[in-house]
């Protein structure tokens, strides 16, 4: 299986090239793409309008799946955590979050992560490897297979394991497949990528795809941010926010700033005022995420009063500031709780 060409690693244009190089007519690529993405088929034999000879040839040279479903855990709030095994035995997770009018899939972009944010379980496990474009895209195809007849994934977020911009090449390829009419056909407005703020990659991505960005800020001064997010020493707040100012945002689009509230670390009223000042002039909305405690976690969740106070200060300064309801905490699928260990 390892020697077979993973078809989900190809963008639609690359697949066409590969098919032509193999001496096949280009229209075969369109046929294949339709079966793989519109029909979500994994077995060449199910492609009934493809000639028997070509199906046989494909079986000898290529494979469709890139991730293998191991199990699905469902939380009492309906959140589903999907566990996948990769061909080399590594494991990754995606999370399906069911909200009123949307069904969001949170995908992983790396096995583990090298950036070591202090509040994050994935970071604690260290970096193993980047995911290929196919391994990213196939999380979506596999998640679609878990849905009920009335369900449809409406939104995609790159907020699972890993820092997507540390794997920009494969993530960009995956985004091409995700947003192409011949691929998964998602609107760029329905895709959000979350980053700790790798500045050059952030600017490059915004030139390539007009998707939404969520920047993990988590502190309003360099000292606190460097303490909980080592990446801040490479790209301090001033540089990160300057890059945010340079981003060419589609009309009416704002940058979401994620702010994890950690009791006694970054949740004081003074912190809220500093944050308001820092984001002045930016087309910003703020998503406050009260920390999800887990056994042995080094931080605490602020009290409901503290959270409310923090939010109120931002709202008084005319920011849209929402508090994210924690989903999936019962199955360790909440933010920062994904880990690549089984
Ligand atoms: S929060 Fe994101 S960037 Fe930071 S360690 Fe966790 S996965 Fe990596």
pLDDT for residue 340 = 41
Q: How far is CA 158 from CA 45, 106, 190, 281, in A?
A: 32, 6, 11, 26
pLDDT for residue 329 = 67
50 touches 31 (CB < 8 A): yes
- Mutation pick for ligand 1 pocket among 111, 115, 194 (CB with most ligand atoms within 8 Å): 115
Q: Residue 124 — pLDDT band, cuts 50, 70, 90? A: confident
Question: At 165, is the secondary structure helix, strand, or coil?
Answer: helix
**% of the chain with per-residue pLDDT over 70:** 94
Catalytic residue IDs: 93, 335
107 CB near ligand 1 (under 6 Å): no
Atom of ligand 1 nearest to the CA of 216: 1
Dist. CA 294–CA 276, nearest whole Å: 29
**Hey, what are 123's tokens?**
């970071």
117 CB near ligand 1 (under 6 Å): yes
Dist. CA 222–CA 237, nearest whole Å: 6
**pLDDT, tens only, 297-332:** 889 999 999 999 999 999 999 999 999 877 766 656
Domain spanning 5-63 has what CATH number? Answer: 1.10.150.530
**% of the chain with per-residue pLDDT over 90:** 85
Atom of ligand 1 nearest to the CA of 124: 5
User: Helix, strand, coil shares of the chain as percentages rounded to 5?
Assistant: 40, 20, 40
Dist. CA 21–CA 26, nearest whole Å: 10
The residue ranges of every structural domain in the chain are 5-63, 67-331
Mean pLDDT estimate for the chain:
93
The verdict on domain 67-331 having CATH code 3.40.50.620 is no
Q: Which ranges in 98-198 belong to alpha helices (H)?
A: 121-125, 133-145, 168-179
Mean pLDDT, to the nearest integer, of 274-284?
Answer: 96
Mean pLDDT, to the nearest integer, of 116-139?
Answer: 93
pLDDT for residue 229 = 96
User: pTM for the full model?
Assistant: 0.94
Mean pLDDT, to the nearest integer, of 278-307?
Answer: 93
Segment holding 194, helix H or strand E = strand 191-195
Half-sphere CA count of 147, side-chain side, radius 13 A? 20
């Amino acid at each position: 299986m390892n020697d077979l060409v993973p078809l989900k690693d190809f963008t639609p244009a690359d697949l066409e090239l590969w098919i032509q190089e193999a001496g096949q007519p280009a229209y075969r690529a369109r046929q294949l793409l339709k079966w793989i993405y519109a029909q979500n088929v994994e077995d060449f034999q199910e492609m009934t309008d493809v000639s028997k000879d070509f199906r046989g040839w494909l079986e000898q040279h290529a494979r469709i799946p890139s991730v293998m479903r191991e199990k699905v855990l469902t939380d009492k709030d309906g959140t589903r955590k999907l566990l996948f095994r990769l061909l080399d035995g590594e494991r990754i997770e995606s999370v399906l979050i069911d909200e009123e009018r949307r069904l969001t899939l949170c995908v992983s972009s790396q096995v583990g992560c090298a950036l070591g944010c202090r509040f994050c379980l994935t970071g604690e496990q260290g970096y193993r490897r980047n995911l290929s474009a196919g391994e990213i895209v196939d999380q979506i195809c596999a998640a679609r297979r878990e849905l009920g007849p009335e369900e449809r994934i409406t939104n995609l977020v790159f907020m699972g394991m890993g820092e997507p911009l540390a794997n920009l090449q494969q993530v960009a390829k995956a985004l091409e497949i995700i947003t192409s009419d011949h691929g998964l056909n998602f609107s760029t407005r329905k895709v959000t990528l979350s980053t700790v703020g790798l500045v050059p990659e952030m600017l490059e991505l915004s030139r390539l795809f007009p998707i939404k960005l969520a920047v993990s800020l988590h502190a309003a001064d360099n000292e606190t941010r460097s303490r909980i997010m080592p990446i801040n020493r490479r790209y301090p707040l001033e540089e990160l926010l300057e890059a945010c100012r340079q981003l060419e945002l589609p009309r009416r689009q704002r940058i979401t700033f994620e702010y994890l509230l950690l009791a006694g670390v970054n949740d004081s009223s003074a912190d809220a005022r500093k944050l308001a000042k820092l984001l002045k002039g930016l087309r910003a909305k703020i998503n406050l995420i009260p920390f999800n405690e887990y056994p042995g976690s080094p931080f605490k969740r602020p009290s409901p009063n503290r959270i409310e106070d923090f939010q109120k200060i931002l709202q008084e300064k005319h920011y849209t500031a929402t508090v994210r309801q924690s989903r999936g905490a019962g199955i360790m699928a909440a933010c920062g709780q994904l880990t690549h260990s089984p």
